[in-house]
Amino acid sequence: MEAKKSKKKLIIILVIVAVLAAAIVIFGVPYFKRHFIEVKMNEAEAINTPAVDLGTKNILTVYFTRNGNCDFEDNVDAVSSASLMRDGDKLIGNCELAAEMIQHSVGGDIYAIRTKKKYPSSYTGTVGAASEEFSEGTKLELEGELPDISKYDTVFILYPLWWYKVPMAVQSFVQQVDLSGKRVYALVSHGGSGEAGSVAALEETAGIKIERPFFTLFDDDAAGAKDSIGEWLNAIK
């Protein structure tokens, strides 16, 4: 009788251990990877996308990313949860890399949205600042000259999802340029929530209709996204 009880306890313990091990593999490893393992990549190889003819060369690719908009410390972590990668000593944002892929494939010009106010180095600090912007409805001052949109007939807009929303910097940009009459495409990078209705919100803010399909880019997949972005570009041409 005691032997049966001991065997039953052993089976229960083994089942619990197996469940815990599975949970670590399913949830713990991806979490550790996203938050603690630095993303290293080769920028030149990553953006080497095949050419796609959209029937026009009057193309502008606009992107917003933390890189160039944060006062980064020298030892900032380049992890996918923070939408950052590293090629040697160079930091690269997810949307920055995706924008380079698009430009390499379809040609045209590229424009980075820059804010006069810089965000904190830490990801949590940036998240906190973004939350304040949304709650206050802050219209941000942008740095540098805006592009002459009249020169283009096709515009790609790339942005990360912040608090399931379009960053205020991107909202400020589309409010200051005239995108009417343009073919506008959107690429949204995210941590697992997809575009979360942000494309429709961007349409309302800009007063335009964004072409379908739009593209959603999971942060972990950014460094190796050239094939999937190439497929998207071929689908919309």
Chain segment 58-76, per-residue pLDDT in tens: 999 999 999 999 988 877 7
Q: What is the DSSP letter of 142?
A: B
> Domain locations in the chain?
1-36, 39-236
- According to DSSP, the β-strands at 154-160 and 109-112 are unpaired
Q: Is the pTM of this model over 0.75?
A: yes
The token duo for 33 is 């990877």
The strand order across the sheet containing 215-218 reads: 109-112, 59-63, 154-160, 183-190, 215-218
Q: Report residue 187's pLDDT band, with 50, 70 and 90 as the boundaries.
A: very high
Q: Is the pLDDT of residue 81 over 70?
A: no
Residue type at position 95:
C
Task: Count Cβ neighbours within 10 Å for each residue of 72-97 and write b for 16 or more, e otherwise.
Answer: beeebbbbbbbbbbbbeeebbbbbbb
> Residues 114-143: pLDDT tens digits?
999 999 888 888 889 989 999 988 789 999
What CATH class has 39-236? alpha beta
> Residues 6-43: pLDDT tens digits?
666 666 666 666 666 555 555 544 443 444 466 788 99
Angstrom distance (rounded) from CA 30 to CA 39: 13
Mean pLDDT of the region 86-98: 91
> Residues 142-175: pLDDT tens digits?
999 999 999 999 999 999 999 999 999 999 999 9
**Coil, strand or helix at 121:** coil
* Predicted local distance difference test score (pLDDT) of residue 12: 67
* Predicted local distance difference test score (pLDDT) of residue 159: 97
Alpha helices in the chain (DSSP H): 2-23, 29-36, 43-46, 94-106, 123-136, 168-176, 198-206, 226-236
Mean pLDDT of the region 89-99: 92
Kindly give, in sequence order, each residue whose CB lies less than 8 Å from that of residue 81, ignoring residues fewer than 6 positions away. Answer: 34, 35, 123, 191, 219
> Residues 189-223: pLDDT tens digits?
998 889 999 999 999 999 999 999 999 999 889 99
* Predicted local distance difference test score (pLDDT) of residue 205: 95
- The answer to whether 155 touches 184, Cβ cutoff 8 Å, is yes
Q: Rounded to the nearest 5 degrees, what angle is found at the Cα of 194, between the Cα atoms of 193 and 196?
A: 80
* Predicted local distance difference test score (pLDDT) of residue 3: 57
Angstrom distance (rounded) from CA 201 to CA 164: 11
* Predicted local distance difference test score (pLDDT) of residue 85: 82
* Predicted local distance difference test score (pLDDT) of residue 102: 98
